[in-house]
Amino acid sequence: MRYGFVIDQRRCIGCHACTVACKEENRVPLGAFRTWVKYIERGAFPNTRRYFSVLRCNHCDAAPCVTICPTVALYRRDDGIVDFDGRRCIGCKSCMQACPYDALYIDPETSTAAKCNYCAHRVEVGLEPACVIVCPERAIIAGDLDDPASQIATIVAREPVQVRKAEQGTRPKVFYVGADAASLIPQLQSPSERYLWAERPRDEVDLMKMVAAVQETGRGAADAALSRPVYDAPHAVRPWGWKVSAYLWTKSISAGALLVAAFAGSESWGGLFNGVAPALSLLFLAITTALLVLDLKRPERFAYILLKPNWRSWLVWGAWILMAFGAAGAAWLVAGATGRSDLLQLALVPSMLLALATAGYSAFLFGQAEGRDFWQSPLVLPHLIVAAVLAGAAALSIAAAATPLQSAEADPSATLWPLLFLSLVAHGFLVGLEVFNRHAVHDATLAARLIRRGPYRARFWGGVMLGGVFLPMVLMIAGAAVDSTALSVLGAVLALAGLWLWEDLWVRAGQSVPLS
Q: What is the mean pLDDT of residues 281-293?
A: 97
Shared-domain flag, residues 280 and 377: yes
Q: Averaged over 293-297, what is the pLDDT?
A: 97
pLDDT value of residue 217: 46
**Separation CA 244–CA 291 (nearest Å):** 7
For residue 429, tell me if it sits in a domain.
Answer: yes
Residue 12 has φ and ψ, to the nearest 5°, of -60, 130
- pLDDT, average across residues 198-216: 84
Q: Is residue 488 part of a domain?
A: yes
The pLDDT score that the predictor gives to residue 208 is 85
Question: Based on the domain organization, do 356 and 446 belong to the same domain?
Answer: yes
| pTM reported for the whole predicted model | 0.94
Give yes or no for residue 494 having a pLDDT over 70: yes
Collapsing DSSP to helix, strand or coil, 182 comes out as helix
Question: At 341, which amino acid appears?
Answer: S
With a pLDDT cut of 70, the percent of the chain lying above it is 97
pLDDT of the residue at 408: 60
From its phi and psi, is residue 74 left (phi > 0), alpha (psi between -120 and 50) or beta? beta
Distance between CA atoms of 68 and 66, rounded to whole angstroms? 6
Cα separation, 260 vs 248, whole angstroms? 17
Identify the pLDDT of residue 117. 96
Q: Which residue has the higher pLDDT, 192 or 130?
A: 130
> Which CATH number belongs to the domain containing residue 326 in this structure?
1.20.1630.10
370-385: per-residue pLDDT in tens? 999 999 999 999 999 9
Nearest to 496 by CA among 235, 252, 281: 252
pLDDT tens string 222-253: 444 578 899 999 888 899 999 999 999 999 99
Residues 143 and 259 occupy one common structural domain: no
Q: Domain boundary at 189, 204, 231, which? A: 231
- 177: Cβ–Cβ under 8 A, 6 or more apart, which residues? 6, 7, 8, 9, 10, 155, 159, 160, 161
pLDDT of residue 288: 98
Whether residue 375 is found in the same domain as residue 501: yes
Q: Are residues 398 and 479 in the same domain?
A: yes
Q: What is the mean pLDDT of residues 284-296?
A: 97
Name the domain count of the chain.
2
Q: Is the pLDDT of residue 146 over 90?
A: yes
Residue 39: CB partners within 8 Å, gap ≥ 6?
14, 50, 51, 52, 53, 195, 196, 229, 230, 231, 232
- Give the integer Cα–Cα distance in Å for 507 and 365: 13
Instruction: Tell me the CATH number at 191.
Output: 3.30.70.20
Is residue 82 pLDDT above 50, yes or no? yes
Q: CB-side exposure of 239: number of CA atoms within 13 Å?
A: 26
Q: How many whole angstroms separate alpha carbon 96 and alpha carbon 84?
A: 13
* Residues 226/230/233/237 CA torsion (nearest 10 deg): 60
Burial class of residue 36 (count of CB atoms within 10 Å of its CB; 0-12, 13-18, 19+): buried
CB burial of 340-359 (b: ≥16 within 10 Å; e: otherwise) equals eeeebeebbebbbebbbbbb
| Rounded-to-integer distance, Cα 130 and Cα 419, Å | 62
d(CA 333, CA 338): 9
Q: Are 11 and 179 in contact (CB under 8 A)?
A: no
Tell me which residue range forms the domain holding 326: 242-510
Angle at 103 between CA 97 and CA 105, to 5 degrees: 75
Say if residue 221 is in the same domain as residue 121: yes
136 within domain boundaries: yes
pLDDT at residue 222 in the model: 45
123 in any annotated domain:
yes
Q: Based on the fold, state whether residues 459 and 494 are members of the same structural domain.
A: yes
Residues 6+ apart with CB under 8 A from 195: 39, 229, 230, 231, 232
276 shares a domain with 189:
no
The pLDDT, as a whole number, for residue 224 is 44
Structural domain contains residue 363 = yes
Q: Which amino acid is at 509?
A: A
Residue range 41-48: average pLDDT?
84
DSSP state of 468: I
Residue spans of alpha helices (H) in 129-201: 130-134, 151-158, 181-184
Question: Which of 231, 261, 287 finishes a domain?
Answer: 231
Residues found in the chain: 516
Three-class SS of residue 231? strand
Average pLDDT, the chain: 93
398 and 326 part of one domain: yes
Domain-embedded: residue 516: no
- Separation of alpha carbons 270 and 273, rounded Å: 6
pLDDT digits (tens, 9 = 90+) for 175-194: 999 988 888 988 888 878 88
8 A C-beta contact, residue 117 and residue 59? no
Check pLDDT > 90 for residue 199.
no
For residues 329 and 302, membership in a common domain is answered with yes
Q: Is residue 275 domain-resident? A: yes
- Euclidean distance between CA atoms 418 and 112, whole angstroms: 47
- Rounded to an integer, the average pLDDT of 489-507 is 97
State whether 216 and 252 are in the same domain. Answer: no
Quote the CA–CA distance of 500 and 44 in Å, as a whole number: 46
Per-residue pLDDT, averaged over 184-205, amounts to 84
- Would residue 349 count as lying in a domain? yes
* Same domain as 219, residue 339: no
Closest CA to 237 of 208, 194, 268: 208
Last residue of a domain, which of 176, 203, 231? 231
d(CA 202, CA 38): 18
